[in-house]
Amino acid sequence: MMNSGKDNNIPIQIAIAEDDALHMNILERLLQTHKDLMIVIKCVNGAELIAHLEQAPRPPDICLLDISMPVMTGYEALPIIKKRWPAIKVLVLSSYSKDYSILKLLKEGASGFLSKQHLNDLRTAILAISGNDYYYSKQAGEDIFLQVKNGKIIVPDISDKEMELLRHMCSADSYEEIAAKMFISRRTVEIHRDKLFKKFNVNSRHGLIMFALQNEIIALA
């Protein structure tokens, strides 16, 4: 890992987006034990994080970004952050360690991935990405990162319409009810559904829901 290029007398400023109160408390306690780390933003979803960034006098150095959050997930927030504030380094936090989650977030510009089961490594990860390095947890090794960046691994994208469908499919609504809520025909719902089946190699609504939940593509309210 590279050493941080920041002035050692200036704390690394950190924003946290985490909807779980217990994990937020753990993150705060871990960060507050180090004088070289300073929490400047705390919020519970991606939309709130972006709103705080817009109002901040200066952007934080690093965002700790949970994947599974209501209103706006980490998947949805990350590309917006990297487009509007490209200098911000993003360390993704996740309860799971599924391949799709890791690959998708690396493709979108994350500088590191840390499992919530390994939060004792938090400071190590922050210092690594602050020093223009990347942090590879056991779940996201350097080989995976380089293959994604070099285009050797194709990561399926999810359109806005497909994301909306996924959220509806995780409810008890029938396909007819979903179609009505989305203002499309049942046949169009089935077309979007079949595309998702193909993208994620599943063949049932249940399989698609399990994939979406396990990879934290959607968050249940």
- What CA–CA distances, in Å, run from 123 to 36, 83, 149, 159? 10, 26, 25, 35
Its CATH class, for the domain covering 160-214, is mainly alpha
Q: How far apart are CA 81 and CA 188, in angstroms?
A: 32
Query: Which pLDDT band holds residue 68 (cuts at 50, 70, 90)?
Result: confident
Its CATH class, for the domain covering 12-149, is alpha beta
Looking at residue 135, its pLDDT comes to: 79
Residue ranges of domains in the chain: 12-149, 160-214
Contact predicate 215/101, CB 8 Å: yes
Q: What is the mean pLDDT of residues 74-78?
A: 91
Q: What is the mean pLDDT of residues 201-217?
A: 81
Note the pLDDT tens digit of each residue in 125-179. Answer: 999 999 877 776 655 555 556 665 665 556 677 888 888 898 888 888 999 999 9
Query: Which pLDDT band holds residue 38 (cuts at 50, 70, 90)?
Result: very high
Which residue, 74, 92, 184, 193, is CA-closest to 134? 92
